[in-house]
Amino acid sequence: MSTEQNGILLSELTIPIGKLKKIIKLIKASNTGHYKSTRALYRTEQYMQVRDEDFGYVCDEIILEAAKLTNVPRESLVTQSCWGVSYQKGDSAIPHIHSQPISWVFYVDCCIDCAPLVFPKRKLVIKPKINQLVLFQGIVAGTDYDINIHEVPIHECNHLRTCLSGNIKLNPLN
C-alpha cells in the first residue's frame, strides 16, 4: 500500500529478512563515518548498489516501486547511488538536498521512537517504520529546488536506527 503526504510518497516493501540481516551486518562493519550531511559513525560507501548484491537487490526493488508510484517506465530509472547508515544515540543528519530527480530512504531497523525524517519546508515529519520506503524529488530543473531539503534530528534511542538511502537518475538512453 502506498500513500502520499504533502508531496512525499510512502510505500512498504517486503525484502527477505536474510538480505536485511546481511545489510545491517555490513553497515555495522563500515565506519566511513561523517559524510557531508550524515553525522554517524556507521556509514557505508556511497555506491553500494554495485559493491554488494544485497544492496543491489534492494535498489532493484526500489526502482520497481518508484516506477509504479511515479508512472515513469522502469527502463527509464537507474540507481545512481545507494548507501547504508546506522545512527546510534547522538547521531544526526544536517539539512541537505539530493542532486538527482528521485531520492529515497528505506528503513531497515528502527522503532517508532527513533529520530524521524524531517522536511522543514513542507512542515512534514515522517516517523520511521521498518520496511517503509520514502520517495521524494531531489533537485529538478524548473522547480523550487530546495522544497525537499530534509534532515534527521539527533537520534535519542539506545539502539541503532538503520536505513538505506539512495538516488535515482533518469536513464539517458530512454
Among 20, 9, 44, CA closest to 165:
44
Quote the pLDDT of residue 99: 80
Computed on alpha carbons and rounded to an integer, the radius of gyration of the chain in Å comes to 15
Quote the pLDDT of residue 9: 92
Residue 93: all three cell numbers together: 543528519
pLDDT mean values, one per 10 residues, the chain (174 residues): 85 93 88 62 86 96 95 94 93 87 94 96 95 87 74 96 94 74
Among 107, 114, 109, 94, CA closest to 158:
114
Quote the pLDDT of residue 144: 64
Residue 10: all three cell numbers together: 510512502
Q: In whole angstroms, what is the distance from residue 146 CA to residue 137 CA?
A: 10
Check: CB of residue 24 under 8 Å from CB of residue 86.
yes
Query: What CATH number does domain 2-170 carry, 1.10.150.300, 1.10.10.60, 2.60.120.620, 3.90.550.10?
Result: 2.60.120.620
Quote the pLDDT of residue 166: 95
Q: In whole angstroms, what is the distance from residue 79 CA to residue 51 CA?
A: 13
Task: Measure CA of the first residue to CA of the last residue in the chain; give whole Å.
Answer: 28
Domain residues of the chain, as ranges? 2-170
Quote the pLDDT of residue 141: 55
Quote the pLDDT of residue 154: 96
